[in-house]
């Protein structure tokens, strides 16, 4: 592909990604994969170059741009080679016209920047949310050792405070290690540790999704005890069994829930769980490093609905914890209404529950919990709190 053809491909992809953000369509990564699946003429270098251009444009635009062309024109202002690729060639974009609309640079939509400032995040910390993320993995201690994986992957480095974690060089091929390692951000591993899961426990992973934290819990429990992996998303939950089989995890029991009627399917475990983990649906503001276009999808109305869902799931989870057990609440968000304020509201409704102290290898206190941020902790953004049930 010529430089112009690469830029035109990026424009087409950005147009699709912008439309998907407005309409609740596929994620950017999925759109890119689909695009090149029908364009076999594009070589690996072309695909990589176009993808990097697309995601550079996404990260540069705080608000969703009007068009893909406007997004790339923002980058072209500071990149003469990119500007020259707007050459009007057969497969390239039209030349740049005077006074042509250009996207506005920024870290996030203005209303979200305001909310983050209210949560005591400065502009540098907000900008760090859209930096490139590292490649972190959790080594599955059930089938291998950190030393064995470290010896097989050049450049693998330990992550301080996480004995099962390694940070791999960008682009490392992890496919051959299925079952032996799981791609999992260091922050996700840290908040999983807040459960203090031990062998023999009964643990409920209330929003298990595809099972990333379920598998981490199973390893911590030495594959002894019982984990109820529950979720309302059949497709995501369906991914757990093959992952568990590869990881040689036998204690995870998938349970499909009906949205809004979660407790009905879990009555067998009412007041029986040593720990309930609620990795709640959230805005995902802490994961923009991996999904930067997600900040274009969020609206105040959607945020309000998520906050209500989190409130309801906390109620469900509280009913499943045995006396003196623990409820661990996690969101990959840095907004206080989803984190510290959500826990304050729960404690106001349930004054006999108290916030347990958390000793974690990273993070800073935020309200009754701990907050991790990319800028301070070099992890995705999370809020986690541990609540102890009354005896």
**Tokens, residue 352:** 């006999």
Q: What is the pLDDT of residue 244?
A: 96
On the question of pLDDT at 322 being above 90, the answer is yes
Q: Which helix (H) or strand (E) holds 274?
A: strand 273-279
Q: What is the pLDDT of residue 43?
A: 87
On the question of pLDDT at 161 being above 90, the answer is yes
**Length of the chain in terms of residues written:** 391
pLDDT tens digit string along 101-148? 999 999 999 999 999 999 999 999 999 999 999 999 999 999 999 999
**Tokens, residue 30:** 């999925």
Residue 41 confidence class, pLDDT cut points 50, 70, 90 = confident
Residues 6+ away with beta carbon under 8 Å from 314 = 278, 280, 327, 329, 342, 346
Q: What is the pLDDT of residue 44?
A: 87
Average pLDDT score over residue span 180-204: 97
pLDDT tens digit string along 222-234? 999 999 999 999 9
Task: Decide if 332 is catalytic.
Answer: yes
CA distances from 225 to 78, 83, 180, 250, 272 (A): 57, 60, 21, 10, 13
Residue 38 confidence class, pLDDT cut points 50, 70, 90 = confident
User: Active site residue: 61, 282, 332, 391, which one?
Assistant: 332
Average pLDDT score over residue span 268-295: 96
Buried b (16+ CB within 10 A) or exposed e, 228-250: bbbbbbeeebeebeebbebbebe
């Amino acid at each position: 592909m010529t430089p112009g053809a690469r830029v035109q491909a990026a424009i087409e992809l950005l147009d699709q990604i912008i439309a998907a953000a407005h309409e609740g369509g596929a994620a950017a990564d999925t759109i890119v994969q689909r695009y090149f699946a029908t364009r076999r003429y594009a070589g690996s270098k072309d695909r990589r170059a176009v993808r990097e251009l697309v995601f550079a444009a996404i990260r540069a635009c705080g608000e969703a741009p009007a068009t893909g062309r406007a997004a790339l024109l923002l980058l072209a202002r500071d990149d003469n080679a990119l500007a020259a690729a707007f050459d009007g060639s057969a497969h390239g974009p039209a030349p740049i016209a005077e006074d042509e609309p250009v996207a506005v640079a920024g870290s996030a939509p203005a209303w979200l920047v305001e909310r983050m400032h209210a949560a005591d995040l400065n502009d540098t910390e907000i900008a760090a949310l859209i930096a490139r993320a590292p490649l972190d993995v959790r080594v599955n201690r059930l089938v291998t050792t950190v030393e064995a994986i470290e010896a097989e992957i050049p450049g693998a480095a330990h992550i301080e405070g996480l004995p099962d974690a390694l940070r791999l060089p960008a682009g490392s091929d992890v496919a051959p290690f299925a079952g032996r390692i799981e791609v999992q951000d260091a922050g996700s591993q840290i908040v999983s540790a807040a459960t203090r899961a031990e062998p023999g426990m009964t643990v409920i992973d209330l929003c298990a999704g595809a099972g990333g934290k379920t598998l981490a819990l199973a390893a911590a429990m030495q594959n002894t005890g019982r984990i109820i992996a529950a979720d309302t998303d059949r497709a995501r939950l369906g991914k757990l069994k093959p992952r568990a089989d590869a990881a040689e995890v036998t204690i995870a029991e998938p349970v499909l829930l009906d949205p809004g009627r979660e407790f009905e399917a879990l009555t067998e475990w009412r007041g029986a769980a040593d720990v309930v983990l609620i990795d709640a649906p959230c805005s995902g503001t802490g994961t923009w490093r991996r999904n930067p276009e997600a900040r274009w999808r969020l609206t105040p109305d959607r945020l309000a609905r998520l906050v209500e869902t989190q409130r309801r799931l906390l109620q469900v989870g509280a009913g499943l914890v045995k006396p003196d057990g623990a409820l661990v609440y996690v969101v990959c968000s840095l907004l206080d209404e989803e984190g510290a304020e959500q826990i304050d509201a729960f404690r106001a409704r349930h004054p006999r529950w108290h916030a347990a102290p958390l000793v974690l290898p990273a993070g800073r206190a935020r309200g009754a919990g701990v907050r991790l941020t990319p800028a301070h902790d070099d992890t995705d953004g999370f809020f986690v709190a541990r609540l102890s049930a009354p005896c």
